[in-house]
Amino acid sequence: ILSGIRITDEKSALNCINYLHKKYHIPTVIITSTNVTLSPVMYGYGSRLKNPMKKNNNNSRDLLNQANGSVTNNTSKYDRVRFKIPHFDYHFIGTGDLFAALTLAHLETKIEKENGQQVPKYSFKDAFQSVLSTIQTVLSKTLKISEGG
């Protein structure tokens, strides 16, 4: 809605992310629950400015490496990740809120190094892996309990 770009495939999702970064100067953009392939697996995309405090004059195009089911980008000013979201054939309420809360917590959690410097506890990719694992566990346990197990 913010971009006016209809997401129909991975390329349009990345175009939307690029637009939001540029137009609104948003350092972190996350698109969740895109079912562009109409399969039992949905995809989400995350993109984060690597060094929001530093100006980056690298005008090279984003290069996307596809390995292990994730889109990563280590050559430009953004960290990028594509994550798979298994689709349950049930209606759950609050999964988006849970995703947002866990993602914020994982991306903002810092640890202190010996020199006193605060650094992120999780990499961008690891944060999403942890969030999705937690949500998968919550939904699986919820289904099990709802079925009397």
Q: In whole angstroms, what is the distance from residue 80 CA to residue 62 CA?
A: 10
Which pLDDT value is given to residue 1? 67
Q: In whole angstroms, what is the distance from residue 71 CA to residue 121 CA?
A: 21
Per-residue pLDDT reduced to its tens digit, 90-139: 889 999 999 999 999 999 999 999 999 999 999 999 999 999 999 999 99
Residue pair 95/135 in contact by the 8 Å Cβ criterion: yes
Full-model pTM: 0.77
CA distances from 105 to 71, 86, 100 (A): 22, 22, 9
Which stretch of 16-20, 35-39, 113-117 has the lowest confidence by average pLDDT? 35-39
Task: Give me the mean pLDDT over the 69-73 stretch.
Answer: 46
Domain residue spans of the chain = 1-87, 89-149
Residue 46 buriedness (CB in 10 A; 0-12 / 13-18 / 19+): buried
